[in-house]
Structure 1
Amino acid sequence: MKRAALWLVSEVGLGNTFTKEQLRAAFPGVSQIDRRMRDLRDFGWRIHTNREDAELDPHEQRFVKQGDPVWEPGRATRKAGVGPLGATRRREVLARDGYMCRSCGITPGEAYDDSPELAQLDIARREVVKPGGAKATELVTECKRCRVGGRSLVADLDEVLRAATALDPADRRVLAGWLEADRREFSQLEQVWSAYRSLPEESRAQLRSELSAS
């Protein structure tokens, strides 16, 4: 993993792409070099595939961000909380999260409302600020779209708790119902608003114009 990190910095360069073939050629005889490189993500390194960057071909990856200098003594100690994500752990997280994206609610193979693209689910590592200020890294199921958009997101549990307890009793009962069902039904008005927000500005302007004239 340390050698892979140095190779990224010295040979690939930040922002540049490389192929799996180039990676394996740089480390002949090293088994599972792909996995060794993926382990860098636990130390703040960002290496995108075509799941995060649609411009990449399936065999390409992009070096997006340099994380901790793991080649320095004492810097390659895995952070507490989330270790390597194996197949068993992945299945556990998917089952726990109801086999749906926890950000938008889409399920695997379901088409998005604004395109024929079919959703793919993956497991994201999310930094969470706990009450009292302590931080932890937790796993959450997200679709490809939401995972890309939430790369730098930090969840603040303390902030959410304060906002929830500040609700008036009626709203807290509504919220409790949503939490119990683990879902929320959106009204037709809210669905139209969501669809409007996803439109390009030219189309949003046309919609505003037509509604104001009616």
Structure 2
Amino acid sequence: MAQPSWQDEKIGTMKRAALWLVQEVGEGALFTKAQLREAFPGVAQIDRRMRDLRDHGWRIDTNREDVSLGANEQRFVKMGEPVWEPGKGTRKGGTTLTGTQRRELLTRDGHMCRSCGMTPGQTYPGTYEAAQLDVARREVKLAGGATEVQLVIECNRCRVGGLGSSVDLPGVLTRLGQLPGFERAILAGWVEKDARAFSELEQLWAAYRTLPADARQQVREALG
């Protein structure tokens, strides 16, 4: 099916934004907020309409997902659903979040990244980069084989690492059922507190894993 022109004002703004990305920017290329607004003069909330494409499988990175990007730069990484085609691009119930919903999700998830535990503004170890939290959409496999998209709070690093990943909930529950009683009790305590304190030994192991090869060798020599 031939693509309509992104300049065709008879189609919706989100569809025009998708076509502009495909026809003018190209996958893998950078564009700026200024270029987007110049292409759609007088169009209200064009930034939001472009963000809506993410609900249809489009990947458009900002400096939250790609720290190499400037504050006003974005990268068109991958095209998703061809939203301009008949029957495509319809709004999926509950996918677009309001500010209130985002705040409720942050509160629900303890204002921290559920993958690594980072909190807003906390600096990643060994860097000057501060964590930013946002809502990530994670595909969850349910009992019976069905899947659904569930929302979780993650930091900018974990959101990038988790793109396209899914969670096998029945698999997690199966492994839980195989735990011996004392380990199950320990896990229940961590779940109840929604936190786990790592011992000095575990923290040293984590630090060792991050070292370059030469530095790891020095640690091995120090251990004898």
* TM-score, normalisation: structure 1: 0.93
Q: 1:12 to 1:203 in 2, by over 3 A?
A: same
Q: Report whether the alignment pairs 1:74 with 2:87.
A: yes
Which residue of 113, 131, 134 corresponds with 2:143?
131
Gaps of 5+ in 2: 1-13
Q: Report whether the alignment pairs 1:63 with 2:66.
A: no
Partner of 2:112: 100
Displacement of 1:185 in angstroms is 1.3
Count residues in correspondence: 211
**Comparing 195-204 with 149-158, which one deviates more in the overlay?**
195-204
Partner of 1:144: 156
Gaps of 5+ in 1: none
Equivalent-residue separation in structure 1 for 2:210 and 2:91 (angstroms): 39
Equivalent-residue separation in structure 1 for 2:214 and 2:151 (angstroms): 38
Q: 1:51 to 1:36 in 2, by over 3 A?
A: same
Q: Report whether the alignment pairs 1:38 with 2:51.
A: yes
**Comparing 37-46 with 180-189, which one deviates more in the overlay?**
180-189
Partner of 2:131: 119
Which amino acid counterpart does residue 101 of structure 2 have in structure 1? R
Partner of 2:15: 2
Partner of 2:66: 53
Equivalent-residue separation in structure 1 for 2:213 and 2:166 (angstroms): 29
- Superposed CA RMSD: 1.4
Which amino acid counterpart does residue 192 of structure 2 have in structure 1? E
Q: Report whether the alignment pairs 1:179 with 2:191.
A: yes
Equivalent-residue separation in structure 1 for 2:174 and 2:133 (angstroms): 30
Q: Would you identify which runs of 4 or more consecutive aligned residues in structure 1 move more than 4 Å?
A: none
**Comparing 112-121 with 17-26, which one deviates more in the overlay?**
112-121
Q: 1:152 to 1:208 in 2, by over 3 A?
A: farther
CA offsets 1:95-135 (integer angstroms, 9 cap, x no match): 00011111111211222233233222111111111111111
SS at match of 2:153: strand
SS at match of 2:95: coil
**Comparing 39-48 with 119-128, which one deviates more in the overlay?**
119-128
* TM-score, normalisation: structure 2: 0.89
Which amino acid counterpart does residue 122 of structure 1 have in structure 2? D
Q: Quick one: percent identity of the two aligned structures?
A: 62
Displacement of 1:201 in angstroms is 3.0
Which amino acid counterpart does residue 19 of structure 1 have in structure 2? T
Which amino acid counterpart does residue 100 of structure 1 have in structure 2? M
Equivalent-residue separation in structure 2 for 1:19 and 1:199 (angstroms): 37
Which amino acid counterpart does residue 79 of structure 1 have in structure 2? K
CA offsets 1:37-82 (integer angstroms, 9 cap, x no match): 00000011000011111111111100001111111111112334x4
SS at match of 1:152: coil
Equivalent-residue separation in structure 2 for 1:56 and 1:113 (angstroms): 21
Which amino acid counterpart does residue 134 of structure 1 have in structure 2? A
Equivalent-residue separation in structure 2 for 1:36 and 1:164 (angstroms): 42
Q: Report whether the alignment pairs 1:26 with 2:12.
A: no
